[in-house]
Structure 1
Amino acid sequence: MSTLGLAAVLSGCGLTAGSGHTTLRLVAADYGDSASNSSEKYWGALVTAYEKKHPDVTVDVTVSSWNDVDAKVKAMVDAGHPPDMAQIGSYADYAAADQLYKADDLLSVTVQADFVQQLAAAGKVRGMQYGMPFASSTRLLFYNKTLFAEAGITPPTTWAELAEDAGKLKAEGVKYPYALPLGPEEAQAETLQWLLSGGGGYAQAAGGYSIDSTENVETFDWLKDKLVGKGLTGPVAPGSLNRADAFAAFADGQVGMLNGHPSLMKMAQKTGVKFGMVPMPGVDGPSKVAMGVADWMTAFKKNGHAEQIGQFLDFVYSERNVLGFSREYDLLPVTTSASQIMSTAEQDAALRPFLEELPLAEVYPVGRTSWAQVSAAVKKGIGKAVTRSGDPATVLSDLQSAAMTAESAAGE
């Protein structure tokens, strides 16, 4: 447990610490990559500022790694002691079990209206917003400028150009002409990026999953035949290549192209790799839809404290604090007001290409309680679609069946 709210520890369950005093418990994820920029520092400064203005409230923050935070919150909920707030990767299961406050119950009208529209919509279950976006990101195609210059090629805008570029990079001896991480770490992200660029996606706008759609099958047929089958994705089978390893290889100068988020910029800069970024190529031109990712703030009802939680979250989502968090961790603001400032501020120039993708972004179908199971199935199985003996139509059909089963079990 962090020391941000020692009074919470001294007051037993952390619900109150004396007459008229409220203690709020928040479990949050760590976005830092070292002790020097741990999220504990971010929350420590924010909570100190808040408690100075609200001496009747103590906020006790526990920061955990992304490897542990979702499981830790689930264990607390299962034990009957949920935190007041949890900043985690999903929310739909808790919303479906009627364990969360709606955003309407907590936030001021101005704060709630300030959320980026696509992200606010992604936070809804059956039309009501339970997930409050906390951090967001989009993806771009990164390319190694040095390797491209040596191969005499320019950044691709279509799939055909991407395949042609990859072929020329291979001829120059590049280890990973295009890195295709479909391994179990984050295959659902690479998959969605490609599905969207092919005019498909995981789910229909009006209803259920559409994993085995004609567009999606055609996308994976192309990946199998035009990239993987021609040896243009490197020595590691896509189904065994994890995103972290692909990023490390790019930062080591071994990758010609791959899909990346803002953190890859710092990795490449540290090793001196000269890189460029362009929108994901599509069938006939740049993809019309980008992939977006969001993490979520949730508030549990069991302990009460709706008023105090709402006041604290209004502070968390103030323009200054949203900008501060986004700049510290190279993430995109989840509010329109902060996005507008970042779109013109010189200090945010590096993030601007990602920010420009946000209005076109589509996020995972996180509002479905079945998504966690579907995502796990994609991570486990999608790599088979591009193997020599794999059949994309069969693999996607199997994933669609698993999705429908999960959807039915969830009552969606």
Structure 2
Amino acid sequence: MKISFIAAAAALAATTALTACSTSSSGSDSAAGGDRLTVWIMKDSVSDTYLQRFKKDFEQQHKDTALDIQIQEWDGIGEKVTAALASKDAPDVIEVGNTQVAQYAASGGVTDLSGKAAELKGADWLPGLAGPGKVDGKQYGIPWYAANRVVVYNKDLFAKAGITAPPTTRDEWIRITEKLNKGTTQGIYLPGQNWYTLAGFIWEDGGELAEQSGGTWKGALGSPEALNGMAFYERLQALGKGPKDSDEAKPPQADVFAKGDVAQIISVPGGAKIVEQANPALAGKLGFFPVPGKTAGKPGVTFTGGSDLIVPAASAHQDAAYEVVKALAGEKCQTDLARTMSYVPNRTSLAKVIEDNEGTAAMAAAAAQGRATPNSPQWAAVEATNPIKQYMTAVLTGSDPKQAAKEASGSITKTLGS
């Protein structure tokens, strides 16, 4: 699943030449009479330079294989991938949003890679990528990269308010935001329908968006734990002037933050690049910290977006396709990808490779606590109408939270059961 600012941040990432993903050797750059693999990569996921270097190095290491890397648009990709999986000439490797794996696996057209998990260091994978890639006990999606939200803050406004360090707990976060919320300064800009952020709060309180029991999915926004998460969101949202009936895209929260009178937003770190582009005076004045949790020293649970890699069952080059996945998911390529694109690597042990980047380090710390949306093939249909957004607006505008949660949960249950 792609989350706000990932594509934009990727477009702003450095496109300088990369270190090769594996040790190069002499030889031709393409196969002579060998396998030709088709690899689908989503637009703006990685730079062209990264892909060119990966292709060249991979082909040098696998002289009987040539790669045809094709860039795909996100718009309409669900239907295109579903059709490809049902065909006899499917691509060999496909990048998919991490929460799309269950939808594609349900078609029966995705290769089960469970037997490769140990070789790929699966025990070290980020839970927000590995979990959605595993359906009915089988690992169909191999984690590639992750990105998640952190708090981006204005260091000057923090200093002006006498705040010397970011908060480490929810309660401290509220106290600091109240202190920042003075005069013309908004303590935080939090739109009323930022439902990915709400999901993190619900998970932190022990709730769920939906739960599965006996093979049936049901909406779960009405549980006491989920209601506590919404109550925290309501409390935090009130400490700013964010609209109650729209998300972070309307208006673009980067533009709001760029005006210089907002102390905090919740965004992927790449959002800071867009803010600085809109207001160069803020360059070097933005800081980052993980969304705080209930316990000091432990970041709050956050939604993890990003991509997994799948191999269609119809691929005629199963072994070679796996070699592509193995290379992209391997330590050296992961290190290059993280440093170049400011993504979180697919393994928790690799977080150290980005610790010198404040924004990405904060993101990696939160990713260790990351979660993904309910692993149902029908979840994409829930997001299409997204009753969670309507639920949030209803609560923020004075409706009874329990009744609003009941209605939204009913809508989720109906969609998941369709």
TM-score (norm 1): 0.78
Distance change in 2, residues 1:79/1:382 (3 Å):
farther
Are residues 1:24 and 2:37 paired?
Answer: yes
Segments of structure 1 that go 5 or more residues without pairing to the other structure are: 1-16, 33-37
**Cα distance in 1 between the residues matched to 2:187 and 2:250:** 15
Secondary structure at the counterpart of residue 376 of structure 2: coil
**Cα distance in 1 between the residues matched to 2:350 and 2:230:** 37
User: Is the 1:262–1:331 contact (alpha carbons within 8 Å) kept by the matching residues of 2?
Assistant: no
Secondary structure at the counterpart of residue 320 of structure 1: helix
Aligned pair partner of 2:393 in 384, 404, 408? 384
Give the 5 Å matches for 1:30-109. Answer: 30-31=43-44, 39-67=47-75, 69-77=77-85, 81-89=89-97, 90-104=100-114, 107=116, 109=118
Give the aligned partner of residue 188 of structure 1: 195
Give the 5 Å matches for 1:74-223. Answer: 74-77=82-85, 81-89=89-97, 90-104=100-114, 107=116, 109-113=118-122, 115-116=124-125, 118=127, 119-153=129-163, 155-174=166-185, 176-183=186-193, 187-203=194-210, 208=217, 209-223=219-233
Which deviates more from structure 2 when the two are superposed, residues 45-54 or residues 283-292? 283-292
Provide Cα deviations, 1:212-236, integer angstroms capped at 9, x if missing partner.
Answer: 2112213323443x345x5x33153
Are residues 1:280 and 2:291 paired?
Answer: yes
**Cα distance in 1 between the residues matched to 2:80 and 2:251:** 23
Give the 5 Å matches for 1:350-389. Answer: 350-365=359-374, 367-376=375-384, 377-378=386-387, 380-389=389-398
Which amino acid is the alignment partner of residue 181 of structure 1? P
**Cα distance in 1 between the residues matched to 2:168 and 2:38:** 48
Which amino acid is the alignment partner of residue 337 of structure 2? F
Give the aligned partner of residue 20 of structure 2: none
- The alignment yields a C-alpha RMSD, in angstroms, of 3.3
User: Is the 1:132–1:296 contact (alpha carbons within 8 Å) kept by the matching residues of 2?
Assistant: yes
Distance change in 2, residues 1:168/1:315 (3 Å):
closer
Aligned pair partner of 1:248 in 242, 255, 259? 255
Which deviates more from structure 2 when the two are superposed, residues 256-265 or residues 94-103? 256-265
Secondary structure at the counterpart of residue 59 of structure 1: strand
Give the 5 Å matches for 1:265-304. Answer: 265-268=272-275, 270=277, 271-273=280-282, 274-282=285-293, 288-304=300-316
Give the aligned partner of residue 12 of structure 1: none
**Cα distance in 1 between the residues matched to 2:309 and 2:273:** 26
User: Is the 1:198–1:216 contact (alpha carbons within 8 Å) kept by the matching residues of 2?
Assistant: yes
Instruction: Using the TM superposition, give the Cα deviation of residue 332 of structure 1 relative to its aligned residue in structure 2, in angstroms.
Output: 0.6
Instruction: Using the TM superposition, give the Cα deviation of residue 95 of structure 1 relative to its aligned residue in structure 2, in angstroms.
Output: 0.6
**Cα distance in 2 between the residues matched to 1:222 and 1:295:** 29
**Cα distance in 1 between the residues matched to 2:226 and 2:409:** 11
User: Is the 1:188–1:379 contact (alpha carbons within 8 Å) kept by the matching residues of 2?
Assistant: yes
Secondary structure at the counterpart of residue 203 of structure 2: helix
User: Is the 1:293–1:363 contact (alpha carbons within 8 Å) kept by the matching residues of 2?
Assistant: yes
Which deviates more from structure 2 when the two are superposed, residues 77-86 or residues 387-396? 77-86
Instruction: Using the TM superposition, give the Cα deviation of residue 201 of structure 1 relative to its aligned residue in structure 2, in angstroms.
Output: 3.3
Provide Cα deviations, 1:308-341, integer angstroms capped at 9, x if missing partner.
Answer: 1012222222221111112121111003554454
Instruction: Using the TM superposition, give the Cα deviation of residue 399 of structure 1 relative to its aligned residue in structure 2, in angstroms.
Output: 2.5
Which deviates more from structure 2 when the two are superposed, residues 86-95 or residues 351-360? 351-360
Give the aligned partner of residue 27 of structure 2: none
Provide Cα deviations, 1:2-48, integer angstroms capped at 9, x if missing partner.
Answer: xxxxxxxxxxxxxxx9995222212111336xxxxx63332222112
User: Is the 2:199–2:209 contact (alpha carbons within 8 Å) kept by the matching residues of 1?
Assistant: yes
Aligned pair partner of 2:409 in 387, 390, 400? 400
**Cα distance in 2 between the residues matched to 1:234 and 1:354:** 25
Secondary structure at the counterpart of residue 42 of structure 1: helix
Instruction: Using the TM superposition, give the Cα deviation of residue 291 of structure 1 relative to its aligned residue in structure 2, in angstroms.
Output: 3.4
Give the aligned partner of residue 307 of structure 1: 319
**Cα distance in 1 between the residues matched to 2:349 and 2:301:** 23
User: Is the 2:126–2:367 contact (alpha carbons within 8 Å) kept by the matching residues of 1?
Assistant: no
Which amino acid is the alignment partner of residue 313 of structure 2? K
Secondary structure at the counterpart of residue 108 of structure 2: coil
Are residues 1:259 and 2:266 paired?
Answer: yes
Secondary structure at the counterpart of residue 300 of structure 1: coil
Distance change in 2, residues 1:335/1:159 (3 Å):
closer
Distance change in 2, residues 1:350/1:162 (3 Å):
closer
Instruction: Using the TM superposition, give the Cα deviation of residue 305 of structure 1 relative to its aligned residue in structure 2, in angstroms.
Output: 1.4
**Cα distance in 2 between the residues matched to 1:327 and 1:243:** 31
User: Is the 1:102–1:128 contact (alpha carbons within 8 Å) kept by the matching residues of 2?
Assistant: yes
TM-score (norm 2): 0.77
Which amino acid is the alignment partner of residue 201 of structure 1? E
More helix by share: 1
Secondary structure at the counterpart of residue 361 of structure 2: helix
Which amino acid is the alignment partner of residue 316 of structure 2? G
Provide Cα deviations, 1:164-217, integer angstroms capped at 9, x if missing partner.
Answer: 44444443212x43222344xxx3312212223434232459885532211221
Provide Cα deviations, 1:209-265, integer angstroms capped at 9, x if missing partner.
Answer: 5322112213323443x345x5x3315335354288123322442422222222134
Distance change in 2, residues 1:69/1:328 (3 Å):
farther
Secondary structure at the counterpart of residue 110 of structure 1: coil
User: Is the 1:111–1:314 contact (alpha carbons within 8 Å) kept by the matching residues of 2?
Assistant: yes
Segments of structure 2 that go 5 or more residues without pairing to the other structure are: 1-29
**Cα distance in 1 between the residues matched to 2:61 and 2:78:** 31
**Cα distance in 1 between the residues matched to 2:325 and 2:31:** 23
Secondary structure at the counterpart of residue 120 of structure 2: helix
Which amino acid is the alignment partner of residue 218 of structure 1? N
User: Is the 2:152–2:288 contact (alpha carbons within 8 Å) kept by the matching residues of 1?
Assistant: yes
Instruction: Using the TM superposition, give the Cα deviation of residue 364 of structure 1 relative to its aligned residue in structure 2, in angstroms.
Output: 2.3
**Cα distance in 2 between the residues matched to 1:339 and 1:281:** 19
Which amino acid is the alignment partner of residue 345 of structure 2? P
Are residues 1:319 and 2:331 paired?
Answer: yes
User: Is the 1:140–1:279 contact (alpha carbons within 8 Å) kept by the matching residues of 2?
Assistant: yes
Provide Cα deviations, 1:74-110, integer angstroms capped at 9, x if missing partner.
Answer: 45446765322210211111211111001136x4742
**Cα distance in 1 between the residues matched to 2:287 and 2:201:** 19
